[in-house]
Structure 1
Amino acid sequence: MEEVLDPELVEAVNGRGQPRSHLFRLDVTELVVVRIGEPPDHLVVESWHPGRGVLRRERR
């Protein structure tokens, strides 16, 4: 994680004259979402990796 310090980018996100918020740049290499399926008798696990795309699995 890297804090964004570029004043032009900070102003573009926050708006002119607004208090500075903290902006961070993330290098995402994996994203996973876990939820309860329909009907609610199993888990649904969806994952994403660059170059591979989305993979969906169900766990009963």
Structure 2
Amino acid sequence: MLGYTVYVNVVPYPAEGPARWFPVVAGAVLALGVILVLAAPAYARRVGERLTSVDGGA
């Protein structure tokens, strides 16, 4: 699903201008996130639990 979403938002690839770098940067951030989750699954689990916990005070 994630690959399809990225594909639909990138094709056709921008040929010139600053928009040419947006897919590259987005891909790098996505790859970094996957690497971090695979390298530290316990940390990723804790972060996920904190993000999904209900906090009464905001």
State the TM-score bracket (shorter-chain normalisation): under 0.3
Q: Which has the higher helix share?
A: 2
* Greater length-normalized contact order (CA 8 Å, ≥ 6 residues apart): 1
Q: TM-score, normalised by structure 1?
A: 0.21
